[in-house]
Structure 1
Amino acid sequence: MKKALSLTTLIVALTLALAGCGSNGADSSSGGSVSHNQQDVTFATDMIPHHLQAVQMAEMAQTQASLPAVRTLAEEIKAAQGPEIETMSGWLKGWGEDVPDESMGGMDGMDSGSSDSMPGMMSDQAMSDLGAATGDTFDQMWLESMIAHHEGAVQMSDTEIADGKDPDAVALAKSIKAAQTTEIATMKKLLAP
């Protein structure tokens, strides 16, 4: 017991020493607790359910879209956002914060109060309507909804870029902004007659 306790004490001491060395935020794996702020926590906590909803929407498109370009874009969105969810979940765990439940990305209560911090989130009713649509109607609804969803993610990313402290979180926000801005342009072209 005493040996296990001293090993734990040694690990904690080493972690604190490494965190002190890495306090410039360059190494967030060892200095994570030092290199982040509340905005980083808010960004990850809000972006996880935001991404989860986009993944749900992408899964719908894979079976309900009529345009091959919509299905392809949906696959790309799912492929990009799945790993980003894992990354942000890892940060929150490392920071000792709660990780949003995967069901939060769905249709549970996102259409009220929380939508201020998560712009672009679809309401329960809108998700239900999208789920019931098919063919050209689905494509139109999906593209319009995903454009709004992406615009919300870009807005959330801008806040993180401006106010975040963790270099990895800020870098992810920049990556999300760049990718989703490009996807918005693609979706607007698909909507154009």
Structure 2
Amino acid sequence: MKRSALPASLLALAFALAGCAPGAQPGSSPDSPAGGSGMHTGHGSAPSSAPTAGDHSAADTMFAQMMIPHHQQAVEMSDAVLAKDGMDPRIIGLATGIKAAQGPEIEKMTGWLKAWGEPVAPGTAHHSMEGMMSGEDMAKLREAEGDAAAALFLTQMIAHHQGAVKMAEKEASEGSNPEAVDLARKIVEDQKAEIKTMEDMLPDYR
């Protein structure tokens, strides 16, 4: 009986040392899934932690496609004011801040569309965007000077921001891409605050 028991104990010891219990893999822990290593588990969980190129909806695409030219016009309006001589420092500060905020957002949304495999140009949607200035509006802003230019800039930018807020609110409620929804909420918060600031400033230039 001793001779038959010895091989069995050695076999058990070998399994214990090698960690070769049925279904186990070297380097696995009791908490690891059977047949899997920690490295395999981490790799499999990665896609859920970061959006993929296809992780977007039609609402996300429309938001980015429309907000890019909307932001671009806000930058253009700001440049028109910053090019003028003798403007009130408060207006200069406001225009500079708008450019600093919206320029990087343009780059971010452009990057999303490219990653999603969507066209950057909004096509006919451009004509339905709220708050956009016409060519005539932009010409008036470029030609105005002094307090008249400040008042016109504030009036136009308030309307422009109000249009952006509506677009962003729609994305915040209907979008599916987490980054796009977060940006939409940020735009709503930031531009509502700027609208209030501009409304408070406007009487000083009339």
Superposition map of 1:99-114 within 5 A: 99-100=120-121, 114=126
One-letter code aligned to 1:67: D
Q: How does 1:20-169 map to 2 (within 5 A)?
A: 22=47, 26-28=49-51, 31-33=52-54, 35-64=55-84, 66-100=87-121, 114-116=126-128, 118-169=129-180
Report if aligned partners of 2:81, 2:153 keep a CA contact under 8 Å in 1.
yes
Q: Is the 8 A contact 2:131 2:163 kept in 1?
A: yes
TM-score using structure 1 length? 0.77
CA separation of 1:70/1:38 partners in 2, compared to 1, >3 Å: closer, same or farther? same
Give deviations 1:26-56, integer Å, cap 9, x for gaps. 412xx131x2100000000000000000000
Residues 166 and 131 from structure 1, CA distance in 2 versus in 1: closer, same or farther, beyond 3 angstroms? same
Structure with max Cα Rg: 2
Alignment RMSD (CA, Å): 2.2
| Aligned AA (2:102) | Q
Range moving further from structure 2, 141-150 or 125-134? 125-134
| 1:172-191 matched pairs, under 5 angstroms | 172-191=183-202
In the TM superposition, what is the alpha-carbon distance from 1:20 to its structure 2 partner? 8.9
Aligned to 2:6: none
Q: Distance in 2 between matches of 1:97 and 1:131?
A: 34
Q: More relative contact order in 1 or in 2 (CA 8 Å, sep 6+)?
A: 1
Structure 1 unaligned blocks of 5 or more: 1-17, 105-111
| Displaced runs of 4 or more, over 6 A | none
Give the SS at the match of 2:157.
helix
SS at match of 1:22: helix
Give the deviation of 1:100 after TM superposition: 2.7
**Residue correspondences, number:** 161
Question: Quick check: 2:69–2:126 contact (8 Å CA) kept in 1?
Answer: no
Structure 2 gap ranges (5+): 1-42
Cα 1:139–1:19 change in 2 (3 A) is: farther
The whole-number CA distance in structure 2 between the counterparts of 1:114 and 1:58 is 20
Task: Compare the two structures and name the one with the higher helix fraction.
Answer: 1
1:93-144 CA-to-partner distances (Å, cap 9, x unmatched) read 000011139xx9xxxxxxx97442x100000110111111111110010000
